[in-house]
Structure 1
């Protein structure tokens, strides 16, 4: 006899990053609270990652860049980093223009090969 999965939340291991969802508009008054949240989520992780969901922030501007830079700084001081989730192409372009680099969820990290891509094929290698 088999039984279904146990009720409740699925098991999450320690490597699952915390997620911080940014609301549509972030005011300067909210930035210290958001930085505190990032530091709290990284506390005791020793170099962890906080995923920052930016899908709902609307059209990017320098205010958004300021918020993300401050969150990245807070994460760095806590020994971690920020990874963006669902950034708008305009936001990515603006980040590039101001010289800020963020990891983006779903992309290969620097120095890490892209998934499913074979770097070289030798003649006579068997097909997988």
Structure 2
């Protein structure tokens, strides 16, 4: 089974379950959403949680935070999280925050990513070490 999202096709594992965000997500909703997701996947063999965000009316940084926390919750229970239904505003916000690979690239494990080559930290001699 596969789904299509802005990032391309999402190939589904044998075990998949659905989870959806409502029209609005507040910071106080995040712990509740994470608890609901944990209850949904707890005790089940790992697979993919399909997180549908199509109903999110006005995505903001809190929406992105919710997705990041949901991804962590899924991973703690041996599941991965695939986001579908992301509109252009959410896609742009995730891109601006530099989280596209972490939140919107389905089926990609962080352990499989390679570190960027040739990146060095630049230290300004005027910076205080403290």
Q: TM-score range by the shorter chain?
A: 0.5 to 0.7
Specify the alignment match of 2:85 in structure 1.
86
Where do residues 103-122 of structure 1 align in structure 2 (5 Å cutoff)?
103=104
SS of aligned partner of 1:28? coil
Mind listing any 5+ residue stretches in structure 1 that lack a counterpart?
A: 1-13, 111-128
- TM-score, normalised on structure 2? 0.61
CA radius of gyration, larger in = 1
Describe the superposition over 1:55-108 as per-residue Cα deviations: whole angstroms up to 9, x where unpaired: 011122111111111111111211212111211022122112212223467xxx
Q: Relative to 1, partners in 2 of residues 1:27 and 1:45: Cα closer, same or farther, differing over 3 Å?
A: same
Aligned to 1:69: 68
TM-score, structure 1 as length reference:
0.62
Q: Distance in 2 between matches of 1:99 and 1:46?
A: 31
- Which runs of 5 or more structure 2 residues have no equivalent in the other structure? 1-12, 109-130
- Number of residue pairs matched? 94
* Structure having the larger proportion of residues in strand: 2
Q: Secondary structure at the match of 1:83?
A: strand
* Structure with higher RCO (Cα < 8 A, 6+ apart): 2
